[in-house]
Structure 1
Amino acid sequence: MQQQASLVEYGSRRVIITITAIICALLEIVDTTIVNVALNDMRGNLGATMTEVGWVITAYAIGNVIVVPMTSWLSQQFGRRNYFAASIMLFTLCSFLCGNATGIWELVAFRFLQGIGGGALLVTSQTIITESYPPEKRGMAQAIYGLGVIIGPTLGPPLGGYIVDSFSWPYIFYINIPIGIIAVLLTLQFVRSPKYAEKSLAKDIDWIGIGLLALAVGSLQYVLEKGHDDDWFSSANIVVLAVLAVFGFFFFIWRELTFRNPIVELRVLKNGNLRVGTILSFIMGFGLYGSTFIIPLYTQATLGWTAQQSGMLMIPSALTTAFMMPLIGMALQKGVKQQYLVALGMLLFFIYSFWGYKIISPDTGQENFFWMLIVRGMGMGMLFIPVTTLALSTLKGQQIGQGAAFTGMMRQLGGSFGVAVITTFLATKNEVHRSSLVSQLNVNDLDVQHRVQMMQHAFISKGMTPDVALKAAYKSLDYVVAKQASVLSYMDAFLGLGVMFLLCIPFVLIVKSSKEKKKLDLSEAMH
């Protein structure tokens, strides 16, 4: 414990370490969403198809998810400060290479390497912040870290939209370079490593475990990201990779439970609170990334907004979350149970989703979203810190770092599942609603005939011949039907997200608290 106490920092040194760690967490998370608004520009500039350019997002996510479970072990091998600094260097170098890429597959390769560098930044920055604070202030430390994790996905689209509109797409990567260089210098100067036990010898390194983990998680991530584009199991690639993911996970679990020095310690999942926290992290990732994905998609595709307008819409929600974080940290320090805060957060997320279900239409105004998104910001603020503290509250020592890696990986996978499920759900519902609306449009119906005639007259008045005007009227009617079907499918998606969170509330409330009251102590995380 003395050695742990020595990692607590005070005064300006603690402030510098906290800022460095938050910057690194933000760099990593903003980069997961900032490219979304630049895909069209990349496609045109690099001469790629939409499917090819989608790999820019997929490759980063695969690199990210593969490395997160290994961060605890890698920190032990190389020393936390060295590993953290090397990860920032890799991330920064790959940002430069991404901006300079001349072909789509070159860009995809550098994004994969950037994801490997970025994966370490999340979990390690969480541990560095927490260890810099004395135990009684660690709830607040979690709140400070949570700001980056929750606000990051929201900041990406408006920042990306501004950079693409004002400069060009490579600058969304170049912006990381000066920040990364400063973060490396601050890390080497101020961050300290705990003393670790001896490093593993080469023969003790779980190379097979590393290979199986990369195979399983990489295959699963590909299936989730590309399944909808490739029409799921009608594609041979998806079938092969789904089978590889299943067998990869099976043999990975068997290997980790039998090898003397596993790369991921699965036995830590015997802890009931961690199991519940891991599931809740998955659901939270599903809701966080799913809702961050669905709103810009709806506002751009259906309402015709620009990328920057869509991104700016999310800022009040992010600011509300930022305001909530320290309040939640204080509530936890005063002894409010995590379960109650998580349940309330889920209820608020249900209210936000139901509100979305009620207000969206083919012409919803910007002002209609404001209070709905404020509620989302409050709900997310109440979820992140309590879910993390609940998951790690009954773990001790080395287990804390392993638990943090599990919750981090599940949050990322939950986001990937969220985007994949919502994309498929929207496409399926869109077809259902479209065929339902078309079946009700009987050409012999007087109202339909009257509507077509009115549109035809409107087109004739603009100088069209009657036959061309009639075609334009039918085309216009088809567009109205398509837009209405799209709105109905977005309504279903909002309602589905809300119901999922509502159903989780009873499950959260029956989780048992640790018998004696313990403060969250992540001090030995990542050992």
Structure 2
Amino acid sequence: MEIVDTSVANVALPHMQGSLNAGTDEITWVLTSYLVSNAIVLPMTGWLSRMFGRKRFLITCITLFTLSSLLCGAAPNLNSLIFFRVVQGAAGGALIPISQAIMMETFPPHQQGMAMAIFGVGAMFGPIIGPALGGWITDNLNWRWIFYINIPIGIIAVVMATFFIFDPSYLKRERTAIDYWGLTFLCLGLGALQIVLDLGQRDDWFNSPFIVTCSVVSAISLVALVVVELMHPHPVVNLRLFKNVSFSAGNTIMFFVGFCLYSSIMLIPLFLQTLMGYNATMAGMVLAPGGVATLVTMPFVGAAIQKYDGRKVVFGGLIIGATSMFIMQRFSLEAAYWDFVWPRVILGIGLAMIFVPLTTVTLATISKEEMGNATGIFNLLRNIGGSVGIAIAATMLARYSQFYQTTLAAHVTPYGLVTQKTISAMTQAAASRGLDPASAQNAALAMIYGTVRRQAAMLSYNRIFFIVGLAFLVIIPLLLLLKKPDRHAPPPPVH
């Protein structure tokens, strides 16, 4: 439910814009507000669980998420919708880390891999179903129903959490001094950072005073947060966990995996819709088989890491992920549907081999008391990596398109024989449709310019896919810093 809501609103933005009488710049805050509040709450999950009791906090978050979904659907104007999205993002931010902490604590070590694999099936189902579900609901019902569908699921989740989840004995509610400075710097630092990453490319990065201000606020706040949290006896975010080399390496790998995953998922549908003429549904049909491949592969990965070193499985996943990117960097404007599908399927298999064992190996060295903190930080770095990946990919796409267009245009001159023949043929074709000679020549030049732009954009996508593939390979040496997991055998049968 939570992961679906991070992507389900994307396809409905034009409908929201018309319904709420909002501008393009204003309506994007529906997405940004959710991501900002989500990022702020993620690392606070462990601290909030200790403050209020994990079961009580989980049920409160599910209830708030469901109630805010109802209010988002009923929002009469843009300001109220953005406010309720902030509440929804804050409530949703804690759901995934708490769920992972419960899974890691409930199951014995020899079953944790399979447990995380089954959990991963649910987590990967969200990005697959989200855009397609949002598009279908928006086209056939109303954009407000993308929020209303959370209500029955939320009610069921509250009932199940009430009856089946219990706080462990060692996780007692704490009444300690609240780390107000840590809270303040966390909210300012991560909130400003998320705004910079989401809006930077649109506002031309540091040519915008707003982006510069947010960047300065974020940098100062995050540095102050590190200082304050390392000194406080009961910090909001326990940064001392990074003294664990294996945990630090695992989080760094997850940051780069988030970078690669989210940037590629953003680039593929954009490429298909802007250059290949695919509609949103067809672009979704290209992405969907890769998600299905991930779902099918995850249980096998869960079984494999019960017997084999999880680091080797992650290594294989990174190699497969890089391979899929290098295949994508050979796309052309003449490619067919299946040419796009099978590299996406390969990427889906690679991601299944990365996420499950990396989560298990990274969190294996963390004590149960700190599991809530660790899962919150782990998920935060994945999300921040994704935001950085999307921001960098969007920026590179704009810059490389300009570069390649300039390069290609140098070869399309009025003095070139091929160019002269092409312009002549296109001019005659336009004139045969009834255009006067001047208009026919302008139409021919416009078509050539359009061809140059499309080819320049194609080269830009190819270059970025290659860079993402290299990013998969660059992080491989970090696997050596991960602690080799113990061979956890199941307990012997009791007769």
Same fold, TM exceeding 0.5? Answer: yes
Give the alignment's TM-score, normalised by structure 2: 0.95
Task: Give the match for residue 52 of structure 1.
Answer: 26
Tell me the amino acid that sits aligned with residue 457 of structure 2. Answer: S
How do 1:230-379 and structure 2 match up within 5 A?
Answer: 230-334=203-307, 336-358=308-330, 360-379=331-350
Task: Give the match for residue 102 of structure 1.
Answer: 76
Task: Give the match for residue 141 of structure 1.
Answer: 115
Task: Give the match for residue 167 of structure 2.
Answer: 193
How do 1:224-235 and structure 2 match up within 5 A?
Answer: 224-235=197-208
Task: Give the match for residue 6 of structure 1.
Answer: none
Deviations 1:151-189 (A, max 9, x none): 322322222222222222222112212211221122223
Equivalents in 1 of 2:309, 2:485: separation in Å?
A: 12
Equivalents in 1 of 2:374, 2:28: separation in Å?
A: 31
Q: CA deviation at 1:500?
A: 1.1
Q: CA deviation at 1:71?
A: 0.8
SS of the residue corresponding to residue 195 of structure 1 reads: coil
1:494 aligned to which of 465, 479, 482: 465
Equivalents in 2 of 1:397, 1:173: separation in Å?
A: 35
Equivalents in 2 of 1:396, 1:197: separation in Å?
A: 12
Deviations 1:62-97 (A, max 9, x none): 111100111111111222121111111111112122
Higher mean C-alpha deviation, range 61-70 or range 128-137: 128-137
Is 1:332–1:338's contact at 8 Å kept on the other side of the alignment?
A: yes
Equivalents in 1 of 2:24, 2:171: separation in Å?
A: 49
How do 1:463-502 and structure 2 match up within 5 A?
Answer: 463-502=434-473
Task: Give the match for residue 493 of structure 2.
Answer: none
Is 2:89 aligned against 1:119? no
Equivalents in 2 of 1:513, 1:184: separation in Å?
A: 37
SS of the residue corresponding to residue 475 of structure 2 reads: helix
Structure 2 unaligned residues grouped into runs of 5+? 491-495
- The verdict on how the C-alpha distance between 1:512 and 1:187 changes in structure 2, with shifts beyond 3 A counting, is closer
Is 1:30–1:153's contact at 8 Å kept on the other side of the alignment?
A: yes
Task: Give the match for residue 19 of structure 1.
Answer: none
Equivalents in 2 of 1:120, 1:267: separation in Å?
A: 20
SS of the residue corresponding to residue 58 of structure 1 reads: helix
Q: CA deviation at 1:296?
A: 1.0
Higher mean C-alpha deviation, range 128-137 or range 371-380: 128-137
Task: Give the match for residue 169 of structure 1.
Answer: 143
Is 1:281–1:407's contact at 8 Å kept on the other side of the alignment?
A: yes
Is 2:52 aligned against 1:84? no
Tell me the amino acid that sits aligned with residue 351 of structure 1. Answer: T
Equivalents in 2 of 1:382, 1:398: separation in Å?
A: 28
Is 2:249–2:482's contact at 8 Å kept on the other side of the alignment?
A: no
SS of the residue corresponding to residue 8 of structure 2 reads: helix
- Please provide the CA RMSD for this pair: 1.8
Give the alignment's TM-score, normalised by structure 1: 0.89
Tell me the amino acid that sits aligned with residue 403 of structure 2. Answer: V
Is 1:158–1:309's contact at 8 Å kept on the other side of the alignment?
A: no
Equivalents in 1 of 2:463, 2:79: separation in Å?
A: 36
Q: CA deviation at 1:517?
A: 4.2
Tell me the amino acid that sits aligned with residue 319 of structure 1. Answer: V
Structure 1 unaligned residues grouped into runs of 5+? 1-26, 521-527
Tell me the amino acid that sits aligned with residue 156 of structure 1. Answer: G
Task: Give the match for residue 5 of structure 2.
Answer: 31
Aligned length: 490
Equivalents in 2 of 1:151, 1:434: separation in Å?
A: 39
Equivalents in 1 of 2:83, 2:51: separation in Å?
A: 26
- The verdict on how the C-alpha distance between 1:103 and 1:88 changes in structure 2, with shifts beyond 3 A counting, is same
Task: Give the match for residue 399 of structure 1.
Answer: 370
Q: CA deviation at 1:289?
A: 1.4
Equivalents in 2 of 1:431, 1:490: separation in Å?
A: 12
Tell me the amino acid that sits aligned with residue 337 of structure 1. Answer: D
- The verdict on how the C-alpha distance between 1:364 and 1:53 changes in structure 2, with shifts beyond 3 A counting, is farther
